[in-house]
Amino acid sequence: MVAEKNLAVSLCGLTMKNPVVPASGTFGFGIELADAMDLNTLGGISLKGTTREPRYGNPTPRIAECTAGMINSVGLQNPGIEALVADKAPALRSIYGGVIIANISGYSVEEYAFNCARADGCPAIDLLEVNVSCPNVHGGGMAFGTDPKSAAAVTAAVKAVTRKPVFIKLSPNVTDIVTIARACEDAGADGITLVNTFLGMRIDIRKRKPVIANTMGGFSGPAIFPVALRMVYQVAQACSIPVMGCGGVRRAEDVVEMMMAGATAVQVGAENLRNPMACPEIIAALPALMDSLGIDSLQEIIGII
Protein backbone atom coordinates (compact mmCIF):
# COMPACT_ATOMS: atom_id res chain seq x y z
CA MET A 1 0.00 0.00 0.00
CA VAL A 2 1.37 3.41 -1.04
CA ALA A 3 1.64 5.94 1.78
CA GLU A 4 -0.19 9.21 1.20
CA LYS A 5 1.86 11.61 -0.89
CA ASN A 6 1.73 15.38 -1.23
CA LEU A 7 1.39 16.29 -4.91
CA ALA A 8 0.59 19.97 -4.26
CA VAL A 9 2.81 22.79 -5.49
CA SER A 10 2.72 26.56 -5.09
CA LEU A 11 3.01 28.64 -8.25
CA CYS A 12 3.27 32.42 -7.77
CA GLY A 13 1.05 32.19 -4.71
CA LEU A 14 -1.47 29.92 -6.43
CA THR A 15 -1.92 26.51 -4.84
CA MET A 16 -2.17 23.63 -7.31
CA LYS A 17 -3.29 20.21 -6.07
CA ASN A 18 -0.71 18.71 -8.43
CA PRO A 19 1.74 20.12 -11.00
CA VAL A 20 0.09 18.62 -14.10
CA VAL A 21 -1.35 21.06 -16.65
CA PRO A 22 -2.72 20.27 -20.13
CA ALA A 23 -0.79 22.54 -22.50
CA SER A 24 -2.43 25.23 -24.59
CA GLY A 25 -3.77 24.02 -27.91
CA THR A 26 -4.13 20.39 -26.80
CA PHE A 27 -7.14 20.64 -24.48
CA GLY A 28 -9.43 23.23 -26.08
CA PHE A 29 -10.99 25.48 -23.44
CA GLY A 30 -11.31 22.58 -20.99
CA ILE A 31 -15.09 22.43 -21.16
CA GLU A 32 -14.90 20.18 -24.24
CA LEU A 33 -13.43 17.40 -22.06
CA ALA A 34 -15.80 17.81 -19.11
CA ASP A 35 -17.94 14.80 -20.06
CA ALA A 36 -14.92 12.55 -20.56
CA MET A 37 -13.08 13.10 -17.25
CA ASP A 38 -13.18 14.80 -13.88
CA LEU A 39 -11.45 18.07 -14.73
CA ASN A 40 -10.92 18.76 -11.03
CA THR A 41 -8.20 16.12 -10.90
CA LEU A 42 -6.00 18.53 -12.92
CA GLY A 43 -3.66 20.99 -11.21
CA GLY A 44 -4.31 23.60 -13.87
CA ILE A 45 -5.53 24.02 -17.44
CA SER A 46 -3.85 26.19 -20.08
CA LEU A 47 -6.57 27.34 -22.45
CA LYS A 48 -6.44 27.50 -26.22
CA GLY A 49 -4.23 30.33 -27.52
CA THR A 50 -6.25 33.51 -27.98
CA THR A 51 -5.78 36.55 -30.23
CA ARG A 52 -7.65 39.86 -30.28
CA GLU A 53 -9.85 38.96 -33.24
CA PRO A 54 -11.28 35.52 -34.08
CA ARG A 55 -9.02 33.45 -36.34
CA TYR A 56 -9.91 30.58 -38.63
CA GLY A 57 -6.35 29.30 -38.71
CA ASN A 58 -4.17 27.99 -41.50
CA PRO A 59 -5.31 26.02 -44.56
CA THR A 60 -5.44 22.22 -44.35
CA PRO A 61 -3.72 19.82 -44.11
CA ARG A 62 -2.45 21.10 -40.76
CA ILE A 63 -1.14 17.90 -39.16
CA ALA A 64 1.72 15.57 -40.12
CA GLU A 65 2.73 12.44 -38.26
CA CYS A 66 6.38 11.89 -37.34
CA THR A 67 8.44 9.28 -35.57
CA ALA A 68 7.95 9.96 -31.84
CA GLY A 69 5.95 13.11 -32.46
CA MET A 70 3.83 15.24 -34.75
CA ILE A 71 3.88 18.51 -36.67
CA ASN A 72 0.98 20.94 -36.45
CA SER A 73 0.25 24.19 -38.24
CA VAL A 74 -3.23 24.97 -36.92
CA GLY A 75 -2.51 28.69 -36.98
CA LEU A 76 -4.04 29.84 -33.69
CA GLN A 77 -7.63 29.12 -34.66
CA ASN A 78 -9.69 30.69 -31.87
CA PRO A 79 -12.85 32.72 -31.20
CA GLY A 80 -11.03 35.87 -30.02
CA ILE A 81 -10.37 37.56 -26.68
CA GLU A 82 -13.94 38.74 -26.06
CA ALA A 83 -15.27 35.18 -26.35
CA LEU A 84 -12.56 34.00 -23.94
CA VAL A 85 -13.39 36.46 -21.16
CA ALA A 86 -17.17 36.56 -21.63
CA ASP A 87 -17.87 32.89 -22.33
CA LYS A 88 -15.07 30.31 -22.39
CA ALA A 89 -13.22 31.04 -19.13
CA PRO A 90 -16.39 31.68 -17.05
CA ALA A 91 -17.93 28.43 -18.36
CA LEU A 92 -14.86 26.48 -17.28
CA ARG A 93 -14.75 28.20 -13.88
CA SER A 94 -18.34 27.14 -13.22
CA ILE A 95 -17.25 23.48 -13.22
CA TYR A 96 -13.53 23.63 -12.39
CA GLY A 97 -11.78 24.76 -9.21
CA GLY A 98 -8.13 24.53 -10.25
CA VAL A 99 -5.81 27.10 -11.80
CA ILE A 100 -7.11 28.51 -15.09
CA ILE A 101 -4.37 29.80 -17.39
CA ALA A 102 -5.20 32.10 -20.30
CA ASN A 103 -2.77 31.64 -23.18
CA ILE A 104 -2.44 34.98 -24.97
CA SER A 105 -1.02 35.63 -28.43
CA GLY A 106 -0.58 38.78 -30.50
CA TYR A 107 0.97 40.24 -33.61
CA SER A 108 2.08 43.54 -32.06
CA VAL A 109 3.06 44.76 -28.60
CA GLU A 110 -0.19 46.72 -28.49
CA GLU A 111 -2.26 43.62 -29.23
CA TYR A 112 -0.53 41.65 -26.48
CA ALA A 113 -1.22 44.44 -24.00
CA PHE A 114 -4.87 44.77 -25.03
CA ASN A 115 -5.51 41.04 -24.80
CA CYS A 116 -3.77 40.68 -21.45
CA ALA A 117 -5.63 43.64 -19.98
CA ARG A 118 -8.92 42.02 -20.98
CA ALA A 119 -7.87 38.63 -19.58
CA ASP A 120 -6.60 40.25 -16.38
CA GLY A 121 -10.06 41.71 -15.80
CA CYS A 122 -11.76 38.30 -16.05
CA PRO A 123 -12.34 36.84 -12.54
CA ALA A 124 -12.33 33.29 -13.91
CA ILE A 125 -8.69 33.55 -15.04
CA ASP A 126 -5.89 33.01 -12.49
CA LEU A 127 -2.71 33.33 -14.53
CA LEU A 128 -1.65 34.70 -17.92
CA GLU A 129 0.65 32.74 -20.21
CA VAL A 130 1.97 34.97 -23.00
CA ASN A 131 3.02 33.13 -26.15
CA VAL A 132 5.80 35.17 -27.76
CA SER A 133 6.26 32.73 -30.65
CA CYS A 134 3.99 34.85 -32.87
CA PRO A 135 5.52 36.78 -35.79
CA ASN A 136 5.99 40.50 -35.11
CA VAL A 137 4.06 42.12 -37.97
CA HIS A 138 5.80 45.43 -37.27
CA GLY A 139 9.23 43.85 -37.12
CA GLY A 140 9.56 41.95 -40.37
CA GLY A 141 7.79 38.78 -39.25
CA MET A 142 10.41 37.52 -36.79
CA ALA A 143 8.85 35.97 -33.72
CA PHE A 144 8.94 38.17 -30.59
CA GLY A 145 10.45 35.33 -28.59
CA THR A 146 13.57 34.97 -30.75
CA ASP A 147 14.95 38.37 -29.72
CA PRO A 148 15.62 39.41 -26.09
CA LYS A 149 14.62 43.04 -26.66
CA SER A 150 11.33 42.11 -28.36
CA ALA A 151 10.47 39.54 -25.69
CA ALA A 152 11.25 42.09 -22.98
CA ALA A 153 9.12 44.73 -24.73
CA VAL A 154 6.10 42.41 -24.73
CA THR A 155 6.71 41.46 -21.11
CA ALA A 156 6.94 45.06 -19.93
CA ALA A 157 3.83 46.11 -21.86
CA VAL A 158 1.81 43.24 -20.44
CA LYS A 159 3.00 43.76 -16.86
CA ALA A 160 2.01 47.44 -17.08
CA VAL A 161 -1.66 46.49 -17.55
CA THR A 162 -1.99 43.35 -15.38
CA ARG A 163 -2.02 42.36 -11.73
CA LYS A 164 -2.21 38.60 -12.15
CA PRO A 165 0.93 36.45 -12.54
CA VAL A 166 2.40 36.57 -16.05
CA PHE A 167 4.38 33.67 -17.52
CA ILE A 168 6.16 34.18 -20.84
CA LYS A 169 6.08 31.08 -23.06
CA LEU A 170 9.32 30.93 -25.02
CA SER A 171 10.20 29.44 -28.38
CA PRO A 172 13.03 26.88 -28.42
CA ASN A 173 13.99 27.96 -31.96
CA VAL A 174 16.85 30.11 -30.69
CA THR A 175 20.56 29.71 -30.00
CA ASP A 176 20.49 31.10 -26.43
CA ILE A 177 17.29 30.49 -24.45
CA VAL A 178 18.85 31.79 -21.22
CA THR A 179 19.48 35.31 -22.53
CA ILE A 180 15.85 35.62 -23.63
CA ALA A 181 14.51 34.23 -20.35
CA ARG A 182 16.66 36.65 -18.36
CA ALA A 183 15.43 39.55 -20.49
CA CYS A 184 11.85 38.59 -19.66
CA GLU A 185 12.66 38.27 -15.96
CA ASP A 186 14.33 41.69 -15.96
CA ALA A 187 11.24 43.16 -17.67
CA GLY A 188 9.01 41.89 -14.86
CA ALA A 189 7.87 38.40 -15.86
CA ASP A 190 6.57 36.34 -12.92
CA GLY A 191 7.54 33.07 -14.57
CA ILE A 192 8.66 31.32 -17.75
CA THR A 193 6.94 28.51 -19.69
CA LEU A 194 9.23 26.46 -21.91
CA VAL A 195 9.34 25.14 -24.42
CA ASN A 196 6.96 25.78 -27.28
CA THR A 197 7.23 23.63 -30.41
CA PHE A 198 10.27 23.27 -32.62
CA LEU A 199 10.04 24.15 -36.31
CA GLY A 200 9.78 21.08 -38.53
CA MET A 201 8.46 19.76 -41.82
CA ARG A 202 7.59 16.57 -43.70
CA ILE A 203 7.50 15.88 -47.45
CA ASP A 204 5.10 13.56 -49.26
CA ILE A 205 7.58 11.87 -51.59
CA ARG A 206 4.84 10.53 -53.87
CA LYS A 207 3.18 13.90 -54.36
CA ARG A 208 6.56 15.66 -54.20
CA LYS A 209 5.31 18.41 -51.96
CA PRO A 210 5.19 19.24 -48.24
CA VAL A 211 2.63 17.33 -46.15
CA ILE A 212 1.63 20.54 -44.33
CA ALA A 213 -0.17 23.12 -46.48
CA ASN A 214 1.86 25.84 -44.74
CA THR A 215 5.07 23.86 -45.55
CA MET A 216 6.41 23.96 -41.98
CA GLY A 217 4.85 23.66 -38.53
CA GLY A 218 5.47 23.06 -34.85
CA PHE A 219 7.15 19.75 -34.03
CA SER A 220 6.17 18.27 -30.66
CA GLY A 221 5.99 14.91 -28.91
CA PRO A 222 8.36 12.56 -27.04
CA ALA A 223 11.26 13.22 -29.43
CA ILE A 224 11.73 16.77 -28.09
CA PHE A 225 11.72 15.87 -24.39
CA PRO A 226 15.51 15.76 -23.81
CA VAL A 227 15.99 19.16 -25.45
CA ALA A 228 13.05 20.70 -23.55
CA LEU A 229 14.42 19.26 -20.30
CA ARG A 230 17.82 20.78 -20.99
CA MET A 231 16.27 24.22 -21.57
CA VAL A 232 14.18 23.98 -18.39
CA TYR A 233 17.33 23.17 -16.44
CA GLN A 234 19.32 26.02 -17.99
CA VAL A 235 16.63 28.64 -17.37
CA ALA A 236 15.86 27.41 -13.84
CA GLN A 237 19.55 27.70 -13.02
CA ALA A 238 19.85 31.19 -14.51
CA CYS A 239 16.59 32.80 -13.33
CA SER A 240 14.97 33.24 -9.93
CA ILE A 241 11.36 33.12 -11.20
CA PRO A 242 9.45 29.81 -11.50
CA VAL A 243 9.39 27.68 -14.62
CA MET A 244 6.59 25.61 -16.15
CA GLY A 245 8.17 22.79 -18.12
CA CYS A 246 6.65 21.61 -21.39
CA GLY A 247 7.78 19.49 -24.31
CA GLY A 248 7.40 15.76 -24.91
CA VAL A 249 5.97 14.92 -21.48
CA ARG A 250 3.94 11.70 -21.62
CA ARG A 251 4.32 9.86 -18.29
CA ALA A 252 4.77 10.40 -14.58
CA GLU A 253 8.53 9.83 -14.82
CA ASP A 254 8.79 12.76 -17.24
CA VAL A 255 6.99 15.02 -14.77
CA VAL A 256 9.47 14.11 -12.03
CA GLU A 257 12.41 14.69 -14.39
CA MET A 258 11.09 18.13 -15.33
CA MET A 259 10.63 19.05 -11.68
CA MET A 260 14.09 17.81 -10.70
CA ALA A 261 15.45 20.00 -13.51
CA GLY A 262 13.73 23.00 -11.95
CA ALA A 263 10.11 23.10 -13.13
CA THR A 264 7.43 23.96 -10.56
CA ALA A 265 4.58 22.83 -12.82
CA VAL A 266 4.65 20.58 -15.88
CA GLN A 267 2.52 20.83 -19.00
CA VAL A 268 1.43 17.88 -21.13
CA GLY A 269 0.92 18.71 -24.80
CA ALA A 270 0.97 16.38 -27.79
CA GLU A 271 0.29 13.32 -25.62
CA ASN A 272 -3.23 14.69 -24.98
CA LEU A 273 -3.93 14.43 -28.70
CA ARG A 274 -2.77 10.81 -28.77
CA ASN A 275 -4.47 9.90 -25.49
CA PRO A 276 -7.09 12.37 -24.14
CA MET A 277 -6.81 10.69 -20.72
CA ALA A 278 -3.05 11.26 -20.50
CA CYS A 279 -3.16 13.90 -17.75
CA PRO A 280 -5.39 12.04 -15.27
CA GLU A 281 -3.39 8.86 -15.92
CA ILE A 282 -0.12 10.66 -15.18
CA ILE A 283 -1.55 12.15 -11.98
CA ALA A 284 -2.82 8.74 -10.86
CA ALA A 285 0.64 7.22 -11.44
CA LEU A 286 2.57 9.85 -9.47
CA PRO A 287 2.02 8.57 -5.89
CA ALA A 288 3.40 5.09 -6.60
CA LEU A 289 6.35 6.55 -8.49
CA MET A 290 7.05 8.95 -5.63
CA ASP A 291 6.90 6.05 -3.18
CA SER A 292 9.43 4.07 -5.21
CA LEU A 293 11.76 7.10 -5.26
CA GLY A 294 11.37 7.95 -1.56
CA ILE A 295 9.63 11.25 -2.31
CA ASP A 296 6.95 12.44 0.11
CA SER A 297 6.26 15.84 -1.44
CA LEU A 298 6.76 17.01 -5.03
CA GLN A 299 7.52 20.52 -3.83
CA GLU A 300 10.73 19.24 -2.25
CA ILE A 301 12.22 17.92 -5.53
CA ILE A 302 11.94 21.15 -7.57
CA GLY A 303 15.42 21.91 -8.89
CA ILE A 304 16.97 19.22 -6.72
CA ILE A 305 19.81 18.37 -9.11
Q: What are phi and psi of 17, to 5 degrees?
A: -65, -20
Is the pLDDT score of 133 beyond 90?
Answer: no
Mean pLDDT, rounded, for 15-44: 97
Question: What pLDDT, on a 0 to 100 scale, did the predictor assign at position 140?
Answer: 57
What distance lies between CA 224 and its chain's CA centroid? 14
Quick: pLDDT tens for 33-48: 999 999 999 999 999 9
Active-site hit among 134, 239, 246, 279: 134
Distance spanning both ends of the chain, measured CA to CA: 29
Tell me which fold the domain 9-301 belongs to: TIM Barrel (3.20.20)
Share of the chain above pLDDT 70, in %: 97
Residue 28 has pLDDT above 70, yes or no: yes
| pLDDT at position 2 | 79
Segment 81-97 shows an average pLDDT of 98
Least confidently predicted of 52-61, 137-146, 150-159: 137-146
Q: What angle do CA 263, 266, 270 make, to 5 degrees?
A: 135
φ, ψ of residue 125 to 5 degrees: the values are -95, 130
What pLDDT, on a 0 to 100 scale, did the predictor assign at position 244? Answer: 98
pLDDT at 139: 63
Per the annotation, the verdict on 134 as an active-site residue is yes
On the question of pLDDT at 135 being above 80, the answer is: no
Convert the pLDDT of each residue in 269-290 to its tens digit. 999 999 999 999 999 999 999 9
Q: Where are the domains of the chain?
A: 9-301
Mean pLDDT over all residues of the chain?
Answer: 96
- What is the per-residue pLDDT for 20? 99
pLDDT tens digit sequence for 148-164: 999 999 999 999 999 99
Q: According to the model, what pLDDT value does residue 262 have?
A: 98
Q: What is the DSSP string of 152-176?
A: HHHHHHHHTT--S-EEEE--S-SS-
pLDDT on residue 3: 81
74-111 burial string, b = 16+ CB within 10 Å, else e?
A: bbbebbebeebbeebbeebbeebebbbbbbbbbbbbeb
What is the C-alpha radius of gyration for the chain, rounded to an integer number of angstroms? 18
Average pLDDT over residues 3-26: 97
The model's confidence at residue 137, banded by pLDDT at 50, 70 and 90, is low
**Per-residue pLDDT reduced to its tens digit, 215-241:** 999 999 999 999 999 999 999 999 999
pLDDT at 145 over 60: yes
CB 185 within 8 A of CB 152: no
